Amino acid sequence: MAGFTVDTHVFRELGELLVGRDSTALVELIKNSYDADATEVIVYGEHLSNLDSGFIAVADDGIGMTPEQFTEGFLRIAARGKDVGARQSPRYSRRYTGAKGVGRLAAHKLAKLLEVESTSWSKKRSPASGVVASIDWDLIEEKQTLDEVAGSTAISVRAVPVELPGNSGTKITLRRLRRKWSKTEHGRFLEEVQSFAPPPLLTEPVPRTVVPEKLLFETPTVRDSGTNASFVVKLEGELSPPDDYWSAALEAAKWIIEIDATSHTGKVSYCIAPTSRTVEELGEVEARRYKMSHPGGDAGPFFQARILLRTGQLAGSESLRAWSGRAHGVRVFMEGFRVLPYGEPKNDWLGLDRDAAERSKDFLSSDVATSLFPALPTAPEADRPGLSHLPNKHYFGAVFLTQAGAPRLRALVNREGFVPDENYDRVVTLVRTGIDLATRVRAAVTAPRRAERRRMRAQPDLFTQQSPEPPSFTEVLQTAETHASAARRLTAAGDSKAAAREIDEALERIRYVAGASEELADQAAMLRVLASLGTQLSSFVHELNGLLGMAEAVEATLNAIIDQADELKRTSRGRLREVLKSVGDLRRHLERHASYLIDVVTPDARRRRSRQRVSERFNTATRLVETAASRRNITITNSIPNDLKTPPMFAAELTAIFANLLTNAVKAAGDGGRIRATARRTSKGSVVKVENTGAAVKVSDGERWFRPFESSTTEVDSILGQGMGLGLTITRRILEEYGATIRFVSPSSGYATALEIAFHG
């Protein structure tokens, strides 16, 4: 009777398919120890570059195996033992990390000879049983089919009696290694093996000497286990990592990012905390905290993450710095085991290297920040303007996934990475959001220092005592040239001291030009970007009007169907009316935004100033945030007198001012909150107040939120966006052009925060 036969090369083929690389193979064996309820695993390597004498031993104190379990489990490819029941281990109820039964294929990938010694664990205090076995893969592959292997000397299994129950566990020894690694390959293998589990600095409480403030969690949830049983892996022999790297990495950190995307709140929390080194350098800098709704809702994925950010070089020996160069990046762990290739030197799963190279600001949804705040790679970190992205080499961290928290994430067949579906995309989005928030916070806390440095460079009294106005660039450069010429003459005459004084004077003027030119470059870049943006918006408005026409046509068609189709069932009519309502909402939403954009990009938008009706412009801005406000059941009240007007200004500017204030207010007001705008006339002009319920801003702390990249909003809204922290900065600059002011003031009774705009004239 005919039947299937299996060629012995199946081990080689499956091993290449299911186990991507040598380090992955070794980690698979360590996972087997975890699944076997081990609390300690010792992985020892010796003579790893020698094929004959080299070996790797993996010894654990798990539940071990009986001869029967070894035969039915280890010797059966793709055994189903871990696929039944709740998929939890018998002693500590751990979630199984293995599912395909490929541990023995990992052994095949690493070495030609496998030796096993195992003593089983029993719940009863009865005599245990043990097994000693060996598998010679070369002898197996000499046979044509697996049927021929039975009865040969390729596989040896021997039961070992254990008179008294003692310590259970398993030791697997891999001999006759398959590869003779080069120094580079050997180093890469060691790096991958040593990083298979997260280091203690990412899993243990952060010392108060490093970060004095309390973070989101003391210790992250690394594994989904029913007990508190520990799992320690010791790498010994040639696999031992350098002892001082982890402490050096923590000491070098300038910021710590924590992300708590667990399921019990429905929210994702972020904490961006400065380390003691940063506080010492920049003065009083406090941790910033943010929240956003989980984009996956109840579906997750749910996880925690801790990421260290450093901006300088890692101190220490050359070998330590070399190790740092290989061990940076944000890594991903599932049940405490590294998921490759995330976090490897050439893996850019978060797009950090891409954005650092391109200096793009994708998280701001435009290239505006790129042009407004160009990075200066040669400048010190604290003196770089704006939102400078940092590449992967500046980050070291971990994302901790569990089977229970992320059950929808699917591993690729070679055990390296996840299927790039929407669940994986959510992990990327949530982690990248935390890093982008840190980028904004870094820019915010260094902005005062950058501004101070520019003020120090720009000292008008260095050049003239007669005029309080800063000198022109031409005057400054002419003066610098005069001093440089004098220095040349004095040098030729041998008066080096006087020449040095002249050079110092010239340098002072050059520093002035450098500082002032930064601001001019920013302004010039803004003009270029706004000109380009206006061109693009004109095209976008055309497309938006096209969509509006389509929405109107669909709405009219649905109305006609409902009116004429008497034979439709009641349920069908109800569903059509629901669709009709949604299309109507879409049409009105498009109308609101099209109206605003037309107002901004029309040829007259920046051509003629006129006195603007404040109430009318506030209503225009209200329509832009109406959807977000309605979603949160927020009431917006306009109590501004209809006849109140501003001094002559552009309509689009006043709309932008109110849009910025309302966007912040909607984010802060909270569900069911209230926003109110009032106004009064004064002897000098008029005063407009916008106030909201919800999150409060201290009036004494108000000036802080007008600094670039600062944001009083702690809720990251999926519709209104994360924001740049530039809304109030831009608003103040627009108002200053007209001699108007804006500041935080005490709110009226029943409100939490209030902003007041004073127009003069």
Which of 362-371, 409-418, 697-706 comes out lowest in average pLDDT? 362-371
- Check residues 647 and 86 and name the one with the higher pLDDT: 647
pLDDT at 641: 94
pLDDT at 207 over 60: yes
Task: Please name the amino acid found at residue 309.
Answer: L
Tokens representing 106 are: 């990992």
Residue 2: the pLDDT is 61
The per-residue pLDDT for 298 is 87
Is the model's pLDDT at 469 over the cut of 60? no
**For residue 368, pLDDT beyond 70:** no
| Percent of residues, the chain, with pLDDT higher than 90 | 23
- Rounded to whole angstroms, the Cα distance separating 149 from 135 reads 11
Using an 8 Å Cβ cutoff, are 690 and 654 in contact?
A: no
Q: How confident is the model at residue 92 (pLDDT cuts 50, 70, 90)?
A: confident
Structure confidence at residue 360 (pLDDT): 46
CB 138 within 8 A of CB 87: no
Q: Out of 263-267, 334-338, 375-379, 674-678, pick the least confident.
A: 375-379
Amino acid at 224: D
pLDDT at 534 over 60: no
* Phi/psi at 98 (5° precision): -95, 150
pLDDT at res. 377: 31
pLDDT reading at 623 higher than 80: yes
Average pLDDT over residues 468-494: 76
Identify the helix (H) or strand (E) that includes residue 679. Answer: strand 674-681
- Look up residue 56 and give its amino acid: I
> What does 481-525 look like in DSSP terms, one character per residue?
HHHHHHHHHHHHTT-HHHHHHHHHHHHHHHHHHHHHHHHHHHHHH
- Token pair 């939102």 is found at 387
- Pull the structure tokens for residue 199: 């280091």
The structure tokens listed for 17 are 């398919």
With vertex at residue 710, the alpha carbon angle to CA 530 and CA 250, rounded to the nearest 5 degrees, is: 120
Give percent of the chain above pLDDT 70: 69
| Tokens representing residue 198 in the block | 């997260």
Q: Over the stretch 653-666, which tens digit does the pLDDT of each residue have?
A: 888 899 889 988 98
Nearest to 404 by CA among 495, 304, 290: 304
Q: How far apart are CA 600 and CA 578, in angstroms?
A: 34
More confident residue, 346 or 550: 346
Domains of the chain plus CATH, in order, are 1-194 (3.30.565.10), 244-452 (no CATH), 458-602 (no CATH), 615-761 (3.30.565.10)
Ranking 249-253, 346-350, 448-452 by mean pLDDT, the lowest is: 448-452
Beta strands 674-681 and 635-639: pairing type? parallel
Supply the DSSP symbol for 746. Answer: P
The pLDDT mean for the chain works out to: 77
Task: Grade residue 99 by pLDDT with cuts at 50, 70 and 90.
Answer: low
Instruction: Give the number of other Cβ atoms within 10 Å of residue 236's Cβ.
Output: 12
- Which 8-state DSSP code applies to residue 462? G
How is 522-544 classified by DSSP, letter by letter? HHHHHHHHHHHHHHHHHHHHHHH
Convert the pLDDT of each residue in 557-615 to its tens digit. Answer: 777 777 766 666 666 767 777 777 777 777 766 666 666 665 655 555 555 788 899 99
For the entire predicted model, the pTM comes to 0.64
Confidence of residue 731 (pLDDT cuts 50, 70, 90): confident
Confidence of residue 734 (pLDDT cuts 50, 70, 90): confident
Query: Letter for the amino acid at 701?
Result: D
Residue 459 identity (one-letter amino acid): Q
Q: Are strands 645-649 and 303-309 parallel, antiparallel or unpaired?
A: unpaired
Mean per-residue pLDDT, 608-629: 87
